[in-house]
Amino acid sequence: MTRSITIFDTTLRDGTQGEGISLSADDKLKIAVRLDELGVHYIEGGNPGSNGKDIEFFRRVQELGLKAKITAFGSTRRKGGSADEDENLQRIAESGAQAATLVGKSWDFHVHTALQTTLEENLAMIEDSIRYLKRRGLEVIFDAEHFFDGFKHNADYARSVLRTAHEAGADWLVLCDTNGGTMPDEIRRTMAALVEAMPEAKFGIHTHNDCELAVANALSAVSAGALQVQGTINGYGERCGNANLCSVIPNLQLKLGLPCLPDEKLAQLVPAARYVSEIANVHMPAGQPYVGTAAFAHKGGIHVSAILRDSRTYEHIAPELVGNKQRVLVSELAGQSNLVSKAQELGIELDPKSPQAAETIGRIKDLEHRGYQFEGADASLELLLREAGGEVRELFVFESFKMLVEKSAGKPVVSEAFVKLRIGGESLYTAGEGNGPVNALDNALRKALLHYYPQLTDMHLSDYKVRVLDDKEATASKVRVLIESRDAENAWSTVGVSGNVIEASWEALVDSMRYALLGQEPAAGAAALEPRPGLFNH
């Protein structure tokens, strides 16, 4: 019979210990709902005795009716005390959580140095705490902290910690590689020996990524008999992070054939990873396995030519299985296969043998040589392809813009933009203020276009990035500007390049509006707006 693996998510507790990650109670509740939709079995919400934010989370999460078991975290009772009188244990028991994660020392060095108590008292602390929580009706997951270091230095004592926890009623024994320094083969050997010695116990694994081995170590533990994996979405966590569940889950399910989520839930992995990234306000690496935007992106012409015949040539799984999608990048390394594939994706007819295709590739390569980059600016690339086919309507005829930036003593900087353009034979001159030059340009241009294109009301700029392309020129360097825009349903990115950051921003800004209005008819002046390939002539 195939084993199924239990997924224990600790994004809301261990994940928040990562540098730069801070979640409000509302944030934690939103993420908990998304994790529950993904199908994880346990959601560790935090320590209900440590701060008001976690107390609020445990109070409110009970109203959500989640299927996953909500788990509270805490330590064993204090040395020399009683579990019945321990405030932290009481708060766990009163939190409304269905399960408790209880962390205890399993390395004799930590018992003596960190707890400053005896080995016997540490065992008593573990036993008393687990029995107390079991009497209060909670499922208990015992996290044996620093287990692999402890086992290496004093195996007999590390085993006695597990036996004590098991005999006290712990439902799970989780071995923790707390410092993240253990190698996969050692994890496997240790786990296998314990599973054989304690066949009646259920074992789990909790690994950290200090040697870039958290996922490998978790898989090694499972191969040796572990039935639960603890980790976080996107690998968030203290120092170098925890085992990344976005890699653990598909590796278990798709590579090892060990079910952990329903098949239909696996396709929610990418949306869940990106949602958590947005709520945590942490950039997701493009090259993150399985869920990153570049995980199934192809750039080399030979690769693209092959995947057009059969995607298995350069993809280890179908990206749709985890909710991702194949992307073909068009750049200076591109061949005709890349361009044809991208055109097909956009529904554009493009004959790979046509002069039009060769001319478009040449133009893209020339632009990239000048500093443009279309890998992160799909909207600008689509505009180029549609311009080549004569599909893009001219929004306006640009005449000029001027900027005024004023700084007075004791007052914030004020930016004003003045834009002059023609639409349908009508000359327009508009002004806009903003908290910066780009914001002012956006407001001035939007003011001119809204009468003709009220659809722009729903569009806004969501991100703005500037990269210096040649730092040897110091402040005179050429810069590349990437702008991300959004409306109610979509997000898209555009690019501009110039020796002047305002001009580069203007190019990207105009492209973002042109893309937003693809296929849209103006509310007025339609007769004067004709298709015009290469309008902005980058």
- According to DSSP H, which parts of 224-319 are helical? 245-250, 263-266, 269-280, 301-309
Write out the DSSP string of 171-240. Answer: SEEEEEETTS---HHHHHHHHHHHHHH-TTS-EEEEEB-TTS-HHHHHHHHHHTT--EEEEBGGG--STT
pLDDT attached to residue 429: 92
Most confident of the following: 2-6, 311-315, 516-520: 2-6
The neighbouring-strand residues paired with 75 are: 103
Helix (H) or strand (E) holding 105: strand 99-105
Whether pLDDT at 92 is above 60: yes
Please give the angle made by the CA atoms of 58, 60 and 64, to the nearest 5 degrees: 110
CATH 3.40.50.150 fits 397-528, yes or no: no
- Residue 414 half-sphere exposure toward CB, CA atoms < 13 A: 8
Neighbours of 193 (CB within 10 A): 15
pLDDT attached to residue 122: 97
Angle between helix 301-309 and 336-345 (nearest 10):
50
According to CATH, the superfamily of the domain at 6-280 is: Aldolase class I (3.20.20.70)
Whether pLDDT at 534 is above 50: no
Burial class (CB in 10 A: 0-12, 13-18, 19+), 117: middle
Whether pLDDT at 529 is above 70: no
More confident residue, 155 or 406: 155
Question: Rounded to an integer, what is the distance from CA 153 to the centroid of its chain?
Answer: 38
pLDDT attached to residue 263: 85
pLDDT tens string 315-332: 799 989 999 887 666 554
User: Residues 74, 100: contact at Cβ < 8 Å?
Assistant: yes
pLDDT attached to residue 336: 58
Query: Would you place residue 526 in the very low, low, confident or very high pLDDT band (cuts 50, 70, 90)?
Result: very low
Query: Would you place residue 530 in the very low, low, confident or very high pLDDT band (cuts 50, 70, 90)?
Result: very low
* CA 220/CA 198 separation, integer angstroms: 18
The two three-digit tokens of residue 147, written as one number: 């287990």
Looking at every residue in the chain, the average pLDDT score rounds to 87
Output the CA–CA distances (angstroms, integers) from residue 156 to 27, 132, 150, 260, 407, in the order listed: 43, 26, 9, 33, 71
Query: Would you place residue 450 in the very low, low, confident or very high pLDDT band (cuts 50, 70, 90)?
Result: confident
- 77 DSSP 8-state letter: P
Per cent of the chain over pLDDT 70 is 88
pLDDT tens string 175-214: 999 999 999 999 999 999 999 999 999 999 999 999 999 9
Question: In this structure, is the dihedral angle defined by the CA atoms of residues 184, 187, 193 and 198, taken in order, positive or negative?
Answer: negative
Output the CA–CA distances (angstroms, integers) from residue 528 to 203, 393, 452, 531, 532, in the order listed: 72, 10, 12, 10, 12
Domain ranges for the chain = 6-280, 397-528
* CA 331/CA 359 separation, integer angstroms: 14
* CA 249/CA 402 separation, integer angstroms: 54
Output the CA–CA distances (angstroms, integers) from residue 43 to 24, 38, 53, 96, in the order listed: 16, 11, 16, 13
The neighbouring-strand residues paired with 172 are: 141
User: Residues 347, 355: contact at Cβ < 8 Å?
Assistant: no
Nearest to 10 by CA among 280, 176, 219, 231: 231
Please give the angle made by the CA atoms of 61, 45 and 273, to the nearest 5 degrees: 95
Instruction: Enumerate residues 6+ apart whose C-beta is below 8 A from 245.
Output: 7, 9, 40, 229, 231, 232, 233, 235
Mean pLDDT of 159-171: 98
pLDDT tens string 391-442: 767 778 888 999 898 888 888 888 999 999 888 778 889 999 988 888 999 9
Helix (H) or strand (E) holding 33: helix 25-38
The two three-digit tokens of residue 538, written as one number: 């980058």
pLDDT attached to residue 411: 84
* CA 36/CA 15 separation, integer angstroms: 17
Amino acid, res. 329: L
The two three-digit tokens of residue 308, written as one number: 């057009």
Helix (H) or strand (E) holding 361: helix 355-369
Question: Are domains 6-280 and 397-528 of this chain identical in fold?
Answer: no
Mean pLDDT of 22-46: 95
Query: Would you place residue 1 in the very low, low, confident or very high pLDDT band (cuts 50, 70, 90)?
Result: low
pLDDT attached to residue 236: 97
